[in-house]
Amino acid sequence: MAGPPIHELHYAQEPSVDEVPGPNSQRLLEKQSNVDSSAVAYPNNIPLAFEEGKGATLKDADGNVFLDFFAGIGVYNVGHANPYVNEGVHEQIDKLTHTVDFPTEPRLDLIEKLDDIAPGSLSGNSRVVFGGPTGSDAVEASIKLAKYNTGGNGLLAFRNSYHGATSGAMSITSNKKFKKPYAPLLADVVHAPFPYPFQEGRDPEASVEHALDEVQAIIEQPYGGLADPAGIFVEPIQGEGGVVTPPEGFLQGLRDIADDNDLPLVFDEIQVGMGRTGEWWGSQHYDVTPDVMTMAKALGGNGQPLSATLYKEELDSWGPGDHAGTYRGHVPAMVGGLRAIEYIESHDLLDHATAVGEQIRSRLRDAAEDDPGLGEVRGKGLFVGAEFVDEAGDPDKDRVEAIQQYCYEHGVLVWTAGQYSNVVRLLPPLVLTERQAEVGTEVIADAIAATADDAHA
Ligand SMILES: Cc1ncc(COP(=O)(O)O)c(C=O)c1O
């Protein structure tokens, strides 16, 4: 057994919160506002300064203990300070941390392990390139790889998507406000609709058909708009867009269109990969294998920055140095990633995430029964979205903010998502216990009840 069982990882099974923010958090937040960048964002919604973490629990600078239902936005899949992961990382830090792309045991072990757990026909037939440390870097690599192999330059991406903050990744991202100050970005990018039955008001089948018709038209019709396509870029389940799980048939349809047109199909697994959804990769819920996939976030094991792009061997056409960077993988982060995968395997955390995720969704669906404002509860594994609408059926951002605030005051940290910020997004560590899930979801259900009257008065 790799490391201790999950119930030994946490400070507690329940939160214990005095007043928030406490005096130490207030002091640090004030200091931050004087010295840090004006781009700092997270503490605006959750005004706290953190001191330490264990498993699915976080302690702030005043000793308050929170249940962490956002896990550094999908980074701490094996929990904070996982002892099995930390042990290996500590040892590696004392030995060697940076080797550009010279071989080390951890590098090669991680590459082999990623090949082992790669989806479908990628397993046994993959290569991995490590670039810069963040997810956006992996997306940049995937764009370059697609262009390099096809000789094309047009990129097909999707509405409601998020792929990162660097220029190429921003180009395929759909958030207009986020990109506007920097436009023009990459020249030839077209965004097709992503099937989103709840917001479109269509049934799932019609939603898929509409999206695929658009993709096909953009790529295949003489006046489709994308002159020289290089690839199709998609999140198998959209994260920032609001935990949007596409209906059956969509990813397979993209696979077919990509094959018909000899284009690489690129899945961005940065948020949903590494076991988050109860499978190693989001694509496995749909049994569709991409040609290229990006990964980051939980890949570094204990929050160390590491990203990678895994692709089928036939696309391995770069010459030495054709994709480069000083940081081509941080060795302690590689140990972290390897140990995180071993911990997940050894403790059956994929099955656990499936069961506990269903437990959370089922409680939230109960809450939705007599609450017309809770329009839809969705997701897979420990990736949960709850979308709120007002009486007119329009997105209800204010209510989601109020729910987040209530949860924060009662010791549960949740995050938001969606193009209208009207989705409560839960992505707790996979080591969340059933008891923690129950306690945390009860707080969220209380928050939903406490905000219902205001919303539908
Ligand atoms: C699907 C997806 N792709 C790419 C990124 C960018 O990753 P990073 O913020 O590490 O650059 C994110 C970040 O949230 C993401 O969710």
Q: How far is CA 362 from CA 358, 366, 387, 399, in A?
A: 6, 6, 15, 21
Average pLDDT on 15-44 reads 97
> Is the CA virtual torsion 73, 77, 81, 85 positive or negative?
negative
In this structure, the residues whose C-beta lies within 6 A of any atom of ligand 1 are 134-136, 139, 162-165, 235, 239-240, 268, 270-271, 296
pLDDT value for 257? 98
pLDDT of 455 > 70? The answer is no
pLDDT value for 454? 60
- Nearest atom, ligand 1, residue 239 CA: 16
Q: Indicate the top mutation candidate among 161, 163, 267, 330 to test ligand 1's pocket, ranked by most ligand atoms within 8 A of CB.
A: 163
Structure confidence by residue, pLDDT tens digits, 402-443: 999 999 999 999 999 999 999 999 999 999 999 999 999 999
Structure confidence by residue, pLDDT tens digits, 135-192: 999 999 999 999 999 999 999 999 999 999 999 999 999 999 999 999 999 989 999 9
> Which residue in the block uniquely carries the two structure tokens 């896990």?
71
Alpha carbon nearest to ligand 1 atom 7, residue: 135
Question: Under a CB-based contact definition with an 8 Å cutoff, are residues 393 and 433 in contact?
Answer: no
Average pLDDT on 334-355 reads 98
Alpha carbon nearest to ligand 1 atom 6, residue: 164
CA of residue 202 to ligand 1 center, whole Å? 28
Of 346, 377, 396, which residue constitutes the final position of a domain? 346
pLDDT value for 332? 98
- Within-domain flag for 1: no
Of 329, 346, 363, which residue constitutes the final position of a domain? 346
The answer to whether residues 200 and 239 belong to one domain is: yes
CA of residue 338 to ligand 1 center, whole Å? 20
The answer to whether residues 256 and 386 belong to one domain is: no
Average pLDDT on 31-54 reads 97
CA of residue 269 to ligand 1 center, whole Å? 9
The answer to whether residues 32 and 162 belong to one domain is: no
Question: Under a CB-based contact definition with an 8 Å cutoff, are residues 271 and 446 in contact?
Answer: no
pLDDT value for 456? 53
The answer to whether residues 33 and 122 belong to one domain is: no
Cβ-count burial of 41 within 10 angstroms (0-12 exposed, 13-18 middle, 19+ buried)? exposed
pLDDT value for 362? 98
DSSP state of 241: T
Domain count, the chain: 2
The answer to whether residues 356 and 332 belong to one domain is: no
Average pLDDT on 76-86 reads 98
Average pLDDT on 13-21 reads 97
Average pLDDT on 230-253 reads 98
- Within-domain flag for 288: yes
The answer to whether residues 94 and 142 belong to one domain is: yes
The answer to whether residues 341 and 356 belong to one domain is: no
- Nearest atom, ligand 1, residue 238 CA: 1
Alpha carbon nearest to ligand 1 atom 13, residue: 164
The answer to whether residues 368 and 379 belong to one domain is: yes
- Within-domain flag for 382: yes
The answer to whether residues 153 and 57 belong to one domain is: no
Q: What is the CATH number of the domain that holds 194?
A: 3.40.640.10
Amino acid residing at 74: G
Q: Give the CA angle between residues 262, 265, 267 to the nearest 5°.
A: 175
The answer to whether residues 357 and 421 belong to one domain is: yes
For residues 89 and 91, what is the distance between their CA atoms, to the nearest angstrom? 5
- pLDDT band at residue 329 using 50, 70 and 90 as cut-offs: confident
The answer to whether residues 42 and 102 belong to one domain is: no
Of 296, 318, 346, which residue constitutes the final position of a domain? 346
Which structural domain, as residue segments, surrounds residue 96?
85-346
The answer to whether residues 91 and 124 belong to one domain is: yes
Those residues with Cβ within 8 angstroms of residue 120's Cβ, 6 or more apart along the chain or in another chain:
283, 284, 287, 288, 289
Q: Going by DSSP bridges, is the β-strand pair 229-234/265-268 parallel, antiparallel, or unpaired? A: parallel
- Within-domain flag for 144: yes
Structure confidence by residue, pLDDT tens digits, 270-291: 999 999 999 999 999 999 999 9
Q: What is the CATH number of the domain that holds 373?
A: 3.90.1150.10
